[in-house]
């Protein structure tokens, strides 16, 4: 874990020079784009807005048998998508804001990851869909794959309307006043904590560190155990950061995703920061049962930091 120092070294410990925002023109994409705009404005970042055309979604593509017919079909789809992307950005951007627009064809998750790598994106901001039954498939096929494979953190935004967003001088500003960081005390959480500390310093936000005891009966959890875990949470924060930031700790008992969501609601958190594990079957199950549910059911965006 990096060492934090008081002053600019703490404030600028995580640099966000380039933000990639993939959009599919949905309401959640609008919300994600607003967050990307706000972050780009705050950090002075370059903003790249990407749309991926997946030709397999267009039934007519199967009838374009010849190379000439396929090229003509692709050109029509490409021109229409380019215009839609321009309209999306123009409609949802303040005057004078002109992000870089990228239109590509392929499998969405793979193309997003490829562009993030080639552009060396420091942050990916993506929208996820609401609570409908098939949304898990969308998260599983796109957002899940991006989060679990991206070298950079992913900010997942699922809510169309952010109560902390406001128009200011033609800009859509999202205030980060309270940040919730969730940890299981593994080394996998360290990088996510670095980001949580850095963003808290950048926005002068209150930071709460949370650990959830899973599979325990509340009556069986004794005060000494809670005190020991609270001390362990305290020890995660470097002294320089503790002197600079507003830090709280919390230990809860129950299902992790439920306790995370409940505390996020109670504390009116503006951001939840979590570590996302690798690519194994167990990690996928953990992602599905915890991170996925926090993203889909939680009250605020989730910053998922890939391990």
Residue 183 is encoded by which pair of tokens?
């940890």
* β-sheet bridge partners, residue 104: 52
Mutual angle of helices 27-43 and 67-92, in 10-degree steps: 60
Condensed to tens digits (0 to 9), the pLDDT of residues 195-249 reads 999 999 999 999 999 999 987 666 677 788 889 999 999 999 999 898 989 999 9
Look at residue 74 in the predicted model and tell me its pLDDT: 76
pTM of the prediction?
0.85
Residue 105 lies in a domain: yes
pLDDT at 11 exceeding the cut of 80:
no
Among residues 157, 176, 198, which one ends one of the domains?
Answer: 157
* β-sheet bridge partners, residue 213: 253
For residue 165, what are the CA distances in angstroms to 130, 153, 161, 305? Answer: 19, 22, 8, 23
Asked whether residue 50 falls in the same domain as residue 142, the answer is yes
At 81, which CATH number?
Answer: 3.40.50.620
pLDDT at 70 exceeding the cut of 90:
no
Condensed to tens digits (0 to 9), the pLDDT of residues 138-182 reads 444 687 789 888 989 999 998 654 544 554 444 567 789 999 999
Look at residue 211 in the predicted model and tell me its pLDDT: 95
For residue 257, what are the CA distances in angstroms to 6, 29, 274, 289, 291? Answer: 33, 24, 11, 7, 7
Asked whether residue 142 falls in the same domain as residue 229, the answer is no
* Residues 198 and 13 sit within 8 Å (Cβ to Cβ): yes
Mean pLDDT of the chain: 82
Asked whether residue 199 falls in the same domain as residue 128, the answer is no
d(CA 152, CA 126): 13
Look at residue 59 in the predicted model and tell me its pLDDT: 60
Among residues 157, 188, 210, which one ends one of the domains?
Answer: 157
Condensed to tens digits (0 to 9), the pLDDT of residues 100-124 reads 999 999 999 999 999 999 999 999 9
Asked whether residue 175 falls in the same domain as residue 300, the answer is yes
Asked whether residue 107 falls in the same domain as residue 27, the answer is yes
Among residues 132, 157, 182, which one ends one of the domains?
Answer: 157
The structural domain count of the chain equals: 2
Owning domain of residue 260: 168-306
- Report which DSSP code applies to 4: P
What's the order of all strands across the beta sheet hosting 18-22? 100-105, 46-53, 18-22, 123-127, 154-157, 302-306, 271-276, 178-182, 206-213, 246-253
35-57 as b/e: b if 16+ CB within 10 A: bbbbbbbebebbbbbbbbbeeee
Question: Which string of DSSP letters, residue by residue, matches 148-188?
Answer: HH-SS-EEEE--S--TTEEEETTEEEE---EEEEE--SSGG
* Residues 213 and 260 sit within 8 Å (Cβ to Cβ): no
d(CA 17, CA 19): 7
Condensed to tens digits (0 to 9), the pLDDT of residues 237-286 reads 999 898 989 999 999 999 999 999 999 999 999 999 998 765 554 444 44
Of 280, 286, 189, the closest CA to residue 237 belongs to: 189
Burial of 135 (0-12, 13-18, 19+ CB in 10 A): middle
Residue 4 lies in a domain: no
* Residues 54 and 108 sit within 8 Å (Cβ to Cβ): yes
* Residues 210 and 182 sit within 8 Å (Cβ to Cβ): yes
């Amino acid at each position: 874990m990096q060492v934090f120092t008081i002053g600019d070294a703490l404030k600028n410990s995580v640099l966000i020079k380039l933000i990639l925002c993939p959009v599919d023109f949905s309401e959640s994409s609008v919300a994600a784009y607003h967050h990307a705009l706000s972050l780009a404005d705050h950090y002075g970042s370059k903003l790249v807005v990407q749309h991926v055309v997946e030709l397999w979604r267009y039934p007519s593509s199967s009838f374009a048998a010849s190379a000439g017919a396929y090229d003509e079909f692709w050109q029509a789809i490409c021109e229409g998508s380019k215009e839609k992307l321009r309209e999306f950005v123009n409609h949802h951007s303040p005057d004078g804001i002109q992000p870089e627009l990228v239109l590509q064809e392929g499998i969405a998750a793979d193309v997003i990851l490829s562009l993030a790598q080639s552009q060396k994106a420091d942050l990916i901001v993506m929208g996820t869909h609401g609570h409908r039954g098939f949304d898990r498939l969308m998260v599983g096929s796109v957002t899940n794959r991006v989060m679990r494979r991206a070298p950079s953190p992913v900010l997942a935004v699922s809510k169309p309307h952010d109560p902390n967003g406001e128009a200011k001088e033609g800009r859509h500003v999202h205030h980060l006043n309270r940040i919730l960081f969730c940890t299981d005390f593994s080394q996998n959480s360290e990088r996510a904590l670095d980001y949580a500390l850095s963003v808290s310093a950048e926005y002068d936000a209150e930071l709460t560190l949370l650990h959830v005891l899973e599979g325990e009966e509340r009556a069986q959890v004794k005060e000494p155990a809670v005190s020991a875990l609270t001390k362990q949470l305290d020890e995660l924060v470097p002294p320089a950061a503790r002197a600079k930031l507003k830090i709280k700790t919390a230990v809860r008992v129950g299902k992790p995703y439920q306790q995370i969501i409940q505390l996020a609601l109670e504390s009116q958190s503006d951001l939840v920061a979590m570590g996302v594990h690798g690519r194994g079957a167990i990690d996928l199950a953990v992602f599905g049962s915890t991170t996925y549910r926090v993203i889909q059911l939680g009250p605020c965006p989730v910053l998922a930091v890939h391990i």
